[in-house]
């Protein structure tokens, strides 16, 4: 990864390459996402697509995936999307609508897309779905706190 | 617990005793909450107070508790509050505002209180805090799907 | 309008024609939207585009458009989109993020698009913007109560 | 009002007197709230109670109060609460859950209370109700932009 980011003096990194380097750098340090088994399917400037398989230990008393884990997947996709410019950014607020239950063994896909970014504030929408159904819609508001996410 | 709920024929259970039995019954089956180390501090009809210690594996790339785990704690308190009448109830939507970071080792308290309950729909507010600061405010909308949570 | 909807016995109306008839029928009865000067720019099944000019009497103590009027425009676009199938549908919940102020005299455009519709519940996103900037992002959750909006 | 706020040199105004002066000063300049017939019932530091009667021109195609006007009332109570310290503050985001319809002629009460205020960000909850029922629950996030609301 470092090799890909070796830059000629004064040149700016390619936004796509940068976004991918940031996401991999974040996942390397993100014990929470690692513990969830989150996989990165795609990353670009302002966007991220992640997957997570619902394990037995993610189910709740209703025998379906605990909302907290659906949220955690969506929130992680949001984090990778809003940090993709390599400026440290945190979640200020999130809303989530749960539309269908997710069952043990199902693979959930979370697709995060930037809706707006102005100054230090951005809005990102995340759709969590399986191949057949939409599980949840998530909207996150981000706040840039500054500093780099990864060294380049 | 079963002893406490033994009822004279035709009598209704005490709401407080019922709420506590439901919460314990839910936690017994809730592998997600168990895995998070969630403790029940208090439960009553329409309310619940839970705690969770932030472990290293709950931290993210910014070295603070992943928002997904803060959400999961709040969502669990919400679930125990809205299921406290022993009628199966699920989360329809949630919003969360993150106000301060939570650090590894800190013990988070989540206090859920019913704001309104009418027909099948309820609104519950959860405040997640440490002894010194408010970490997050969460609002959940619940939807009753019917059936009992625990057998009484 | 009635002419357009005259149908051969047993035939279903064209979704686009139906959506447009519903929107016009709603605006005819919607004194609130009329009072706001709301104009229908486009309507389709699951979507609506409306406009509203910010009048002096819509401004607040900060000399910008009162958030209530921005919300009202977005909420109206949401209503026309979620009622476009001619099944009476109401707002259950809404979230709005205010991103830039709107000034007196500016013309606001609200574009509502259906994100998901399953059973009685739908999610609709509305972007309120001028030609130059995004003013607000709105998300509405709809609930079908049944019955027709307009007679066809 | 000016008389009440005459201060000895170097003294700070009483928080309650200040909050009331700010609310009256805001309403004097707030053409939107005036047009809605909003009345101030009570104001204090971090809180406000307002009322509004649902007029015929506030009703929508479903013959109930347009959600935009319910929102506008709640948003105004939120604004008066979060500006009560006489530091200019705007709404960053709001969520609203609509729980029961409001009918023409009903008087709506909106009670705003501060939940948290830290740095430039605050969270305020507003309950909109009649004497018999809760109409809506609203939550607003505020952002201080600085400067005084009224001259003292």
pLDDT of C1 = 39
- Say if residue A4's pLDDT is above 50: no
CA distance C24 to chain B (A): 32
Task: Show residues of chain B in contact with D99, CB under 8 Å.
Answer: 116, 118, 121, 123
Distance CA C59, CA C64 (A): 5
Q: What percent of chain D has pLDDT over 90?
A: 82
What confidence category does residue C126 fall into, taking pLDDT thresholds of 50, 70 and 90? Answer: very high
CA angle B134, B136, B137 (to 5 degrees): 105
Whether D39 maps to a domain, the answer reads yes
Distance CA D60, CA C99 (A): 27
**Would you give the end-to-end CA distance of chain C in angstroms?**
10
pTM of the model as a whole: 0.91
Whether C65 maps to a domain, the answer reads yes
- Say if residue C2's pLDDT is above 50: no
Whether A7 maps to a domain, the answer reads no
Dihedral pair phi/psi, residue A110, rounded to 5°: -120, 120
pLDDT digits (tens, 9 = 90+) for B82-132: 999 999 999 999 999 999 999 999 999 999 999 999 999 999 999 999 999
D129: left (phi over 0), alpha (psi -120 to 50) or beta: beta
What confidence category does residue C30 fall into, taking pLDDT thresholds of 50, 70 and 90? Answer: confident
pLDDT of A5 = 52
Determine, for residues C141 and B93 on separate chains, whether the beta-carbon distance falls below 8 Å: yes
Whether D130 maps to a domain, the answer reads yes
Q: CB of B71 within 8 Å of any CB in chain A? A: yes
Q: What percent of chain B has pLDDT over 90?
A: 82
- Say if residue A1's pLDDT is above 50: no
- Buried (b) or exposed (e) across D35-62, using 16+ Cβ within 10 A? ebebebeebbbbbbbbebebbeebbbbb
Q: CB of C95 within 8 Å of any CB in chain B? A: yes
Given the structure tokens 């009483």, which residue do they identify? D14
What confidence category does residue D58 fall into, taking pLDDT thresholds of 50, 70 and 90? Answer: very high
SS3 D95: strand
Higher model confidence: residue B32 or residue C65? C65
Task: Show residues of chain C in contact with A134, CB under 8 Å.
Answer: 116, 118
User: Domain limits at B70?
Assistant: 13-144
Q: CB of D95 within 8 Å of any CB in chain A? A: yes
Determine, for residues C90 and D59 on separate chains, whether the beta-carbon distance falls below 8 Å: no
Q: CB of B125 within 8 Å of any CB in chain D? A: yes
Distance CA B89, CA B148 (A): 9
Subunits with 3+ C-beta pairs closer than 8 A to B: A, C, D
Q: Which two tokens stand for residue D116?
A: 């948290």
Subunits with 3+ C-beta pairs closer than 8 A to D: A, B, C
Task: Show residues of chain B in contact with A71, CB under 8 Å.
Answer: 67-68, 71-72, 75, 94
pLDDT of D13 = 83
Whether B116 maps to a domain, the answer reads yes
Search chain A and give the residue with CA nearest C95. A95
Residue D103, CA distances (Å) to A58, B121, C141, D3, D129 in order:
45, 21, 21, 41, 12
What confidence category does residue B31 fall into, taking pLDDT thresholds of 50, 70 and 90? Answer: confident
Task: Show residues of chain D in contact with B116, CB under 8 Å.
Answer: 99, 134, 137
pLDDT digits (tens, 9 = 90+) for C61-113: 677 999 999 999 999 999 999 999 999 999 999 999 999 999 999 999 999 99
Distance CA D34, CA D19 (A): 19
Subunits with 3+ C-beta pairs closer than 8 A to A: B, C, D
Task: Show residues of chain B in contact with D139, CB under 8 Å.
Answer: 95, 137, 139
Task: Show residues of chain B in contact with D97, CB under 8 Å.
Answer: 123, 141
CA distance D151 to chain C (A): 13
Determine, for residues A96 and B92 on separate chains, whether the beta-carbon distance falls below 8 Å: no
- Say if residue D89's pLDDT is above 90: yes
pLDDT digits (tens, 9 = 90+) for A60-103: 767 799 999 999 999 999 999 999 999 999 999 999 999 999 99
| Residue among B100, B114, B115 with most chain D CBs within 10 A, to mutate | B115
Q: CB of D35 within 8 Å of any CB in chain C? A: yes
- Say if residue C10's pLDDT is above 70: no
Q: CB of C134 within 8 Å of any CB in chain A? A: yes
Q: CB of D93 within 8 Å of any CB in chain A? A: yes
Mean pLDDT of A118-145: 96
Whether C129 maps to a domain, the answer reads yes
- Say if residue C129's pLDDT is above 80: yes
What confidence category does residue B9 fall into, taking pLDDT thresholds of 50, 70 and 90? Answer: low
Interchain CB contacts (distance < 8 Å): C and D: 127
pLDDT digits (tens, 9 = 90+) for D3-52: 445 555 567 789 999 999 999 999 998 888 899 999 999 999 999 999 99
Q: Which two tokens stand for residue A32?
A: 């929470």
CATH of the domain at C134: 3.10.129.10
Whether D4 maps to a domain, the answer reads no
Whether B8 maps to a domain, the answer reads no
Cα atoms in the 13 Å half-sphere on the side-chain side of C98: 22
Q: What percent of chain D has pLDDT over 70?
A: 92
Per the structure, the count of domains in chain D is: 1
ipTM confidence: 0.87
pLDDT of B3 = 42
Q: CB of A6 within 8 Å of any CB in chain B? A: no
What confidence category does residue A111 fall into, taking pLDDT thresholds of 50, 70 and 90? Answer: very high
Q: What angle, 0 to 180 degrees and rounded to 10, lies between the N-to-C axes of helices D67-82 and C67-82? A: 150
| Residue among C93, C118, C123 with most chain B CBs within 10 A, to mutate | C93
């Amino acid at each position: 990864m470092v090799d890909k980011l070796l830059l000629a003096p004064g040149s700016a990194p390619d936004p796509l390459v940068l976004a991918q380097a940031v996401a991999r750098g974040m996942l390397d340090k993100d014990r929470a996402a690692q513990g969830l088994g989150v996989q990165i399917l795609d990353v670009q400037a302002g966007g991220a697509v992640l997957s997570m398989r619902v394990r037995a230990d993610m189910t709740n008393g209703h025998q379906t995936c605990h909302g907290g884990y659906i949220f955690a997947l969506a929130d992680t996709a949001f984090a990778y999307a809003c940090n993709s410019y390599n400026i440290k950014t945190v979640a200020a607020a999130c809303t989530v609508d749960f539309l269908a239950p997710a069952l043990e063994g199902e693979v959930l896909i979370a697709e995060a897309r930037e809706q707006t970014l102005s100054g230090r504030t951005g809005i990102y929408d995340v759709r969590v779905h399986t191949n057949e159904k939409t599980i949840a819609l998530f909207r996150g508001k981000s706040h840039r706190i500054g500093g780099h996410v990864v060294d380049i």
